[in-house]
Structure 1
């Protein structure tokens, strides 16, 4: 694409575009802390690093194994953690699903490729331990926000046999304000920390991966977000014509409250929860 660094910086600097971004993130943490006090999660490790872990929230027992939904957070591969997003468990628990908030190592301690590998390994560990968690081990639903949208799309393009798991390990996927072509990210201020080469950005971009999961795939972003987030979605739709995909247009909404809406009454929750919670 033909764009200056200055223009790309303005499009992708999510915090600078949202006056109350810090307050929104603090609210995520407060709401998650409240849930953790009343419904403490089980923490599952999938590696030796403290961030290679997931917090697992379970619904009330009954009715056999539950669908498993895994949430992957954003933060431009550099920030935030699983504890910020426990509050998103509530609508999924109500729907009878087991909900996991998955963490991963951050850049610059590791490269973006390592973050992708962490998320794949975390999903694999949760699938292997599904029976112990009261969950189904296949058709795992994935949902990710921002960089997490990139990571769940990458997980949808995974050879699960390399993890000794069946091809249908991952089922429906929801990407919220996701990033599916990392070349414009490489050309923006974000690469000062990410340090991706042109080849790195190509290899880490879902638009250049081959999906292995059947879907369906739901993509959405806030209606008030910069046009690059809409374009990112269009690129993935065009790159993956064989995957059944819907794009949910939201009325208003910033990069941050586009994620919050997953836990609030409204079109995103109404579409995403039943899509992900399939038996």
Structure 2
């Protein structure tokens, strides 16, 4: 094994260890199984609009979770929505794994607090590159802003969150110049964000054990 310094004083084993979260949480499979066990109950407890397309590819879909019964849309275009704040969640999985359906349990925290929840699906690396993943997430945010009133949400109270790779994607959403993507998109489209355990320093990622899967380019 190569024990020469590879990145900021870390050798290969040390750098790999910093990015190997599954090794740090050996019970991770049981944790995710517990999340999955809640899925059917979540679908029964809340109003849902599942597999809504926000882009041209099959992977570009999102799920909307609302209180039951769902709030009515405003009577006429341009009327004040009085709608719910919206949290758009971007899932993790090192950009190459997981699916929006793995995160249905999040509705149990958001909906009773008065917020609508959007869970975004996106194409996974390496079937697409990271730039395309970011583009798809931006498209999901734009779709949510443009269609919020239709599901009782308030487009002027749109927030974004995500964990791990989704934390990185959350940061990318918050640094986006939105008017460049559409004349109808305000610069402050996102009112706040929460990036949980995000992977923000991508420079060492091509050097770690995950590179064989991710196939990132410098």
Q: Place the TM-score, normalised by the shorter chain, in its bin.
A: 0.7 to 0.9
SS of the equivalent of 1:183 reads coil
- Per the TM alignment, residue 18 of structure 1 is displaced from its structure 2 partner at its CA by 1.5
Q: Which residue of 1 aligns with 2:205?
A: 185
Aligned pairs (5 A) from 1:98-137: 98-137=116-155
Q: Is 2:67 aligned against 1:59?
A: yes
Aligned pairs (5 A) from 1:38-187: 38-43=45-50, 44-60=52-68, 61=71, 64-164=82-182, 165-187=185-207
Q: Is 2:25 aligned against 1:7?
A: no
Q: Which residue of 1 aligns with 2:214?
A: 194
- Per the TM alignment, residue 190 of structure 1 is displaced from its structure 2 partner at its CA by 1.3
Name stretches of at least 5 consecutive residues in structure 2 with no aligned partner. Answer: 1-7, 73-80
Name stretches of at least 5 consecutive residues in structure 1 with no aligned partner. Answer: 199-279
SS of the equivalent of 2:38 reads helix
Conserved? CA contact 1:139–1:168, under 8 Å? no
Conserved? CA contact 2:82–2:154, under 8 Å? no
* Larger helix share, 1 or 2: 1
SS of the equivalent of 2:160 reads strand
125-134 or 12-21, which deviates more: 12-21
SS of the equivalent of 2:156 reads coil
TM-score (structure 2 length as normaliser): 0.85
Q: Distance in 1 between matches of 2:201 and 2:39?
A: 31
Conserved? CA contact 1:112–1:194, under 8 Å? no
33-42 or 179-188, which deviates more: 33-42
Q: Distance in 1 between matches of 2:16 and 2:48?
A: 37
Give the total of aligned pairs: 198
TM-score (structure 1 length as normaliser): 0.67
Aligned mate of 1:27, from 27, 31, 34? 34
Q: Distance in 2 between matches of 1:74 and 1:85?
A: 10
Specify whether residues 191 and 35 from structure 1 end up closer, same or farther in structure 2 by C-alpha distance, changes over 3 A only.
same
Conserved? CA contact 1:159–1:167, under 8 Å? yes
- Per the TM alignment, residue 40 of structure 1 is displaced from its structure 2 partner at its CA by 4.9
Q: Distance in 2 between matches of 1:197 and 1:84?
A: 28
